[in-house]
Amino acid sequence: MAKARTLLPVAVDTLFAPATFDFDLYIRPDPSGPALLYREHSFPFERGDVDRLMRRGVTTLYIPDTGAASYQRYVHQEILSNTSLPPGQRFEALTAAGRMTFYEAFADGQVDRMIAFAEDLAGRVVDILCQREMVLFDLFRVMRHDHHTYTHVTNVCGYCLALAERAGVSDRNELASIGAGALLHDIGKRHVPRSLLNKPGRLTDPEREVIQRHPSVGFEELSPRQDLSWGQLMMVYQHHERLNGRGYPVRLQADEIHPWAKLCAVVDVFDALTCQRPYRRPWPVKEAMAYLHERAGSEFDKEMVQCWMAAMNSAR
C-alpha cells in the first residue's frame, strides 16, 4: 500500500508571483474535505492566481512534505532577505518554513537538528519582532490555529518572545534563548503516539498519564546536553506545573517553578485554547484571556498574566 501523502500548509501571501516552484500546490475548498491539486510544479504560479484566491477567501495552500526543503530555500532567498517587505509577512513566511523544518526533524527524531533549528529560528524571530512596527496584533493574525505540535511550538515561540519583551527582557541573547526553549518545550511529545495527541474524544486515565509524561521524557532526553541552558530545560520540564501544586509532572509550587517556565505556561495555555483541536472548536480570545485572568495567582504567575493581558489589550 502506498504511503499517504502528507501536506503542509503555506500562506498564499508567501508565494510571490510570477514564479515556478519545485513543488505542486494543493487547495482544500472544504476545510474538512480532501485537498485537491491546484497547480503542478511545471506550471507558473501567476499574479492572477493570487488575486483569484484572495477574492475567494483562500489564504492557505498546501505542498507535499517532499517539497519542504525547496520551500524553505525559497523563503530564505526571496522573503527573509527582502527587508522592504512588512515584518508581518516575513514573520509568517519564517514560521511557515520553521514548521516544516520542525515537522521533518520531529518525525525523524533528529534532536541535534531540532536544537539547531530552534536556535536559528528563535534568533530570526527576535530580529523581526524587535522591529517596532511588528505588534502583537500582527503576530496573532499570522499565527496558524490548528492542533499540530509543530504549529503549536512556533506559535508559542512568538508569544513567549512578545511576553518576555513586555515583561522587561531586552537582551537579545536572552530573548533568543527563551525563544529556542519555547520551540523545544514540547519535544517530549514526539514519544507520544500520534493517535493520542489527535484523539477526538475524551482521554482515558491511562492515556492521559502517557501524555502527561512528555515533560519528563523531553527533559530526560535533553538534560545531558551542554548546549542548552537551565532555563531552557525548565521550559521543557515545568511548562505544565502550576503555582498551586496541581500541575505535572512533579507538582511543583510557586518559586520552585523557573520564571521562564511560568512565562511559557501562560502562552502555552493561551495558544492551546485559541487553536483548533480535534475534540473542540477554538475559544475566542476574550474567553481565553478570561480563563487566564481567573487563574492568575493560583495557577499562573499573576505578573505574567497581567503583562499578557496588557499586551493583548494594547494590540486590539
93-140: pLDDT as tens digits: 777 776 666 666 666 667 887 787 788 778 877 876 666 544 455 555
157-212 pLDDT, tens digit per residue, is: 889 998 999 999 999 999 999 999 998 899 898 888 878 877 878 889 999 999 99
> 78 exposed, middle or buried (CB, 10 Å; 0-12, 13-18, 19+)?
middle
The residue among 266 and 84 whose pLDDT is bigger is 266
Of residues 181, 242, 190, 244, the one with CA closest to residue 214: 190
pLDDT given at position 264: 97
- How many CB atoms lie under 10 A from the CB of residue 228? 20
pLDDT of residue 126: 82
pLDDT one-digit tens code per residue, 210-246 = 999 999 999 999 999 898 999 999 999 999 999 999 9
The predicted pLDDT at position 3 comes to 45
* Best CA proximity match to 144, nearest among 158, 133, 131: 158
3, 189, 286, 302: the active-site residue: 189
pLDDT tens column, 292-302: 999 999 999 99
Residue 144, pLDDT score: 53
Whether residue 141 has pLDDT greater than 60? no
Residue 118, all three cell numbers: 530552534
Name which residue leads in pLDDT, 16 or 306: 306
Q: How far apart are CA 66 and CA 240, in angstroms?
A: 34
pLDDT digits (tens, 9 = 90+) for 52-77: 998 898 888 889 888 887 887 887 77
**pLDDT band, very low/low/confident/very high, at 307 (cuts 50, 70, 90):** very high
Position 2 scores a pLDDT of 39
Return the closest-CA partner of residue 183 out of 246, 113, 247: 113
Confidence grade of residue 1 (pLDDT, cut at 50, 70, 90):
very low
Tell if the pTM clears 0.85, that is, is over it.
no
Tell me the three cell numbers of residue 105.
Answer: 526533524
Closest CA to 59 of 135, 145, 159: 145
CA dist., res. 77 & res. 112, Å (int): 24
Task: Give yes or no: 199 in active site.
Answer: no
Q: If DSSP codes are grouped into helix, strand and coil, which group holds residue 32?
A: coil
